[in-house]
Amino acid sequence: LKGGTVGNYYQASLLDPTADDGLTTSYATIISYRTSGGATFYAQQRYVTASGEVHWVFVLRDKITKDIISMWQAPDHPCFGNGGKPLLTPYPFLNYDSNSCEIIVINPSKEQILEMQQKTIKLSETEPDRCLLQVITEDYIIDETTKPSWPDIPVTVGLPPDWNEAWLSLTPVQPIKKMIPKPDKIIVASLKLKKIA
């Protein structure tokens, strides 16, 4: 989950040289839910972001059917709050099967995010508001005809180790920024509005 350090959800680590999969050796915020019967499940965690230079949408989907298995979105890269090391946490889907699944990354513009955030609010008193992922899945499609470039600016991935001491002495804290390398086999795409019939 995004912002695991500030999101008040526990972090776990596994130090087992015999384990083939599972947790990482860095502390990370990891949760997992499954549904049955074709249900769609949404979960969200609210936190205060420190960066927001680039918005990230990660989509895990079946290579053949193109069915979406899982999605994740945040104004921070998934390594933020999870160790700040993009090579250790390049995407939010641990141990995905690259033979049957693919990961798509979408970096909507700030204008697109504002437009989508406006669509989360339902004015009707009898309808619940939607989360951003609901708006994306219900109102947009993944546009793979475009070939957007991978983000080329440093983004905030964490705070320096002495951030707590700096806060106590009222010294300004400079967040840690890094370039995020594009992982192999990642598809970079855009979103476009669904056509209304």
Tokens of 24: 């990482």
Residue 3 pLDDT > 50: no
> Could you give the 3-state DSSP secondary structure of residue 72?
strand
Predicted local distance difference test score (pLDDT) of residue 8: 47
Predicted local distance difference test score (pLDDT) of residue 109: 94
Predicted local distance difference test score (pLDDT) of residue 171: 85
Name the DSSP class of 167: H
CA–CA gap between residue 153 and residue 90 (Å, rounded): 16
Task: Give the pLDDT mean for 147-175.
Answer: 87
Predicted local distance difference test score (pLDDT) of residue 151: 97
Tokens 């955030």 found at: 117
| Residue 90: band (very low, low, confident or very high) from pLDDT cuts 50, 70, 90 | very high
Q: Note the residue count of the chain.
A: 197
Percent above pLDDT 90 for the chain:
53
Average pLDDT, the chain: 83
Q: Are 21 and 32 in contact (CB under 8 A)?
A: no
144 vs 49 pLDDT, higher one: 144
> Could you give the 3-state DSSP secondary structure of residue 172?
coil
2 vs 112 pLDDT, higher one: 112
Predicted local distance difference test score (pLDDT) of residue 2: 47
Tens of pLDDT, residue by residue over 9-21, are: 555 555 555 555 5
Q: Would you list the DSSP string of 100-146?
A: TEEEEEE---HHHHHHHHHHT---STTS----HHHHHHHHEEEETT-
Tokens 């695991």 found at: 4
Predicted local distance difference test score (pLDDT) of residue 113: 94
Domain ranges of the chain: 56-193
Burial 172-190 (b: 16+ CB within 10 A, else e): eeeebebebeeeeeeebbb
Other C-beta atoms lying within 10 Å of the C-beta of residue 35:
8
Predicted local distance difference test score (pLDDT) of residue 192: 94
Give the CA distances from residue 84 to residues 12, 161, 197, in Å, rounded to whole numbers and listed in that order.
Answer: 15, 11, 44
| Residue 193: band (very low, low, confident or very high) from pLDDT cuts 50, 70, 90 | very high
The pTM score is 0.75
Residue 31 pLDDT > 80: no
Predicted local distance difference test score (pLDDT) of residue 82: 83
Residue 24 pLDDT > 70: no
Predicted local distance difference test score (pLDDT) of residue 11: 56
- Strand partners for 73: 57
Tokens of 6: 């500030």
Q: Are 194 and 93 in contact (CB under 8 A)?
A: no
